[in-house]
Chain A
Amino acid sequence: MTWARREITGWGRVLRAEAELARPEKRRAALALAAEAPCPALGQRRSYGDACLAERALLTDRLDRVLEVDLDAGTLTSEAGVRLGDLAQYLAPRGWLPPVMPGTGFATVGGAIAMDVHGKNHHLKGAFSAHVTRLVLATPHGPVEVMPEDPLFALTAGGLGQTGPILEATMRLAPVRGDVMMVTERRMTGLEPFCDALDASDAPYVVGWIDATATGDTLGRGILEEGEVGKGLVPPAKRGRKIPFDAPRAALSAPVVRTFNAAYLRRVPERGRTVVRPIADYFFPLDKLFEWNRLYGKHGFHQFQCVVPVEARPALRDMLERIGKAALASPLAVLKRLGPGAGHPMSFPMAGYTLAVDLPNRPGAERLLATLNAATAEAGGRVYLAKDSSLTAAEAHAMYPGRAAWAEAVNARDPEHAFETALVKRLKLREAA
């Protein structure tokens, strides 16, 4: 196996690493690598911080084949490097979708399991791993099949790749009747009504866009989007575009973002509206802008995403107040309701409200992140490790109470710590209690 030396970054482009990378094209080559030079697997590197950074790694880019699909039963087996957006594109016309889709279609099956990603349907369907019925890990001793009832499954789901590279997985698909998304958009005037509406919604897919620049009376205003798959005329697809260069700082300066957000809010009439969107546009709104992370300029950005328990609305208000005052927020901010967690020790979702905000990497961003992290911990919530670039080890350990037992089990399987990523090292996630 040949190694290529490359600089890799998280999607936020703040954290970087010089890495030795192998890119097997065949399952056999991946297994040989797992035996000779065990290292963590990386997919499309859409994690924002350093969850997708390592000094040495196996890229799953070319392990990207669909191995078996049963369109009657609604099951699909694929290699780990298959991208969920590609699956959606082929499956939707045939009446199915991947069971859970995160905000980008570039996320891979392997990454979706390792981060136990959630989507706009978490309140009803849970996270990605809940729909995985079987997975195969590459170990030094060959492939190991893991079923949901095996203890190894819970270590792997949300397990940040620490049980070794995922080679393939079988998932249950979600049946869909239709080929477009019918999206009902409603203006939300403030945080309390927003949270109430999120609690009350029983739509299959629910997400809220929140104006993170708003403070005072308007704090927490935004747009609630409730979606369901329907039949309709597919609006003509627009061509994808690429961000050709790093944007200058002014592009996302505070006055520009405030003006944009106010206009974005007014786009939806006061009485609300229902629009029809192509499925991919609804689930992966930013994917059409290839490399949209360059909008944040060469210094990159952080994404803060936390979940706080339902009773912690005041903490949410406090966080939004701080974000608004810091005048650092970008237009990309999301508020969503999560259903109960799956009980996997390192899996992020738990019942509550999840807030995600992009913060350009400017002076003050790190201080703001530190306050938000602390506020999350205090509210009994947790930060999403797929997004994180700023937690302390102590905070991470407190937020994931099952971590120490998980670390012990994972360390027993990988005593050399060969699968550690930069995130795992930074947050000392595999340190004994």
Chain B
Amino acid sequence: MDDGTETWLILGASSAMARALARAVAARGARLLLAGRDQDDLAALAADCGFRGAASAEAVVFDARDAGTFGPLIERMKALGGVPHAAVFTGSMPPQPEIDATPELIEGTIADSFTGPARVLTMLAPLIEAAGAGTIVGVGSVAGDRGRVGNYVYGSAKAGFATYLSGLRNRLTRSGGHVVTVKPGFVDTAMTWGLPGMFLVAPPEAVAASILTAVEKGKNVIYTPFFWRYIMLIIRSVPEPIFKKLSI
């Protein structure tokens, strides 16, 4: 089935950003494996992707905290064939005060945002190496660029994920594969809807479009919308003696 068709594994496919990306690649005629926990919602998305032109679209179970769900994803990717691609949208961000009160939450946050998807990607990497092509899109967060009082557990998980992606890029580039690290700023999703202090909120469709441009151009790390690169440049360059006293 190596007919040059793109086959996309989308982890955490029911998020708004993932839905936008799934629709965009569906319109290009890709095969889609939509992975997540909410099977009803993913079945609806699969139907919608089929309508929009996907060669095939199916919902599969994926839980970042349940390693038993990882293997079947890879088996299904092998069976579907084509050029293997993956996009990771998983992550969870419990409010920091809840984490402070219940430190056990740290493990789940790190599994959702880093170690769960990293295990799947590590299992998927040999498929890309064997195909000699394929791209992995890892969605991190600007929160991973510097630890802040409001969400440093989530931030550190995303920082770990970003470092993992950088290493994976270094590995896959040798065999013709590629990894794009995506750092979105504020995106208009259920997570940010109605939150105070949001500004310059980007629609998920714009984020999906910039991700696909980055995939085509072989970019390594993108901020989306682009201006977040400069916002984070400023935030990263604040000296620690000053930064530690700020609450931004």
A10-68 residues with Cβ-Cβ distance < 8 A to B are 21, 23-29, 62, 65-68
A171-205 residues with Cβ-Cβ distance < 8 A to B are none
A6 nearest CB neighbor, chain B only: B194
What CA separation (Å) do A104 and B52 show in the bound complex?
21
Known contacts A2-B193, A3-B194; A28 and B48 CB within 8 A of each other: no
Binds A, one of B39-47, B100-108, B145-153: B39-47
Residue-wise, chain B 13-26 has the 8 Å CB interface mask toward A (1 for contact) of 01010010000000
Q: A69 is contacted by which of B16, B51, B190, B194 (Cβ under 8 Å)? A: B51
B47, A65: Cβ atoms closer than 8 Å: yes
B41, A27: Cβ atoms closer than 8 Å: yes
B35-80 residues with Cβ-Cβ distance < 8 A to A are 38, 40-41, 44-45, 47-48, 51-52
Interface size, A (range): 20 to 34
Q: Does A79 contact B (CB under 8 A)?
A: yes
Q: A23 is contacted by which of B14, B41, B47, B190 (Cβ under 8 Å)? A: B190
Q: Does B242 contact A (CB under 8 A)?
A: no
B41, A28: Cβ atoms closer than 8 Å: yes
A79, B51: Cβ atoms closer than 8 Å: no
Taking the nearest CB of chain B, how far is it from the CB of A71, in angstroms?
10
B40, A28: Cβ atoms closer than 8 Å: yes
The A interface, classified by DSSP as helix, strand, loop or mixed, is: mixed
Contact residues in B for A29 (Cβ distance below 8 Å):
190
Q: Does B195 contact A (CB under 8 A)?
A: yes
Q: Does A90 contact B (CB under 8 A)?
A: yes
Number of B residues with CB within 8 Å of any CB on chain A? 17
Taking the nearest CB of chain B, how far is it from the CB of A1, in angstroms?
9
B53 nearest CB neighbor, chain A only: A90
Taking the nearest CB of chain B, how far is it from the CB of A41, in angstroms?
16
What CA separation (Å) do A21 and B190 show in the bound complex?
12
What CA separation (Å) do A275 and B124 show in the bound complex?
54
B44 nearest CB neighbor, chain A only: A65
Which of B16, B48, B52, B195: most chain A Cβ within 10 A?
B48
B193, A4: Cβ atoms closer than 8 Å: yes
A209-244 residues with Cβ-Cβ distance < 8 A to B are none
Known contacts A3-B194, A62-B16, A90-B52; A26 and B38 CB within 8 A of each other: yes
B51, A90: Cβ atoms closer than 8 Å: yes
What CA separation (Å) do A24 and B189 show in the bound complex?
10
Q: A67 is contacted by which of B16, B48, B190 (Cβ under 8 Å)? A: B48
For the complex of A and B, list the 10 residue pairs with the smallest distance between their C-beta atoms, beginning with the closest: A4-B194, A65-B48, A2-B194, A66-B51, A26-B41, A25-B190, A66-B48, A65-B44, A67-B47, A69-B51
Q: Give chain A's interface residues, CB within 8 Å of chain B.
A: 2-5, 21, 23-29, 62, 65-69, 79, 90
15 further interface pairs, Cβ-Cβ under 8 Å (given A25-B14, A66-B47) = A2-B193, A4-B194, A23-B190, A23-B193, A24-B190, A25-B16, A25-B19, A26-B38, A26-B41, A28-B41, A29-B190, A62-B16, A66-B52, A67-B47, A67-B48
Q: List 5 A-B contacts (CB under 8 A).
A: A3-B194, A25-B190, A28-B40, A29-B190, A67-B47
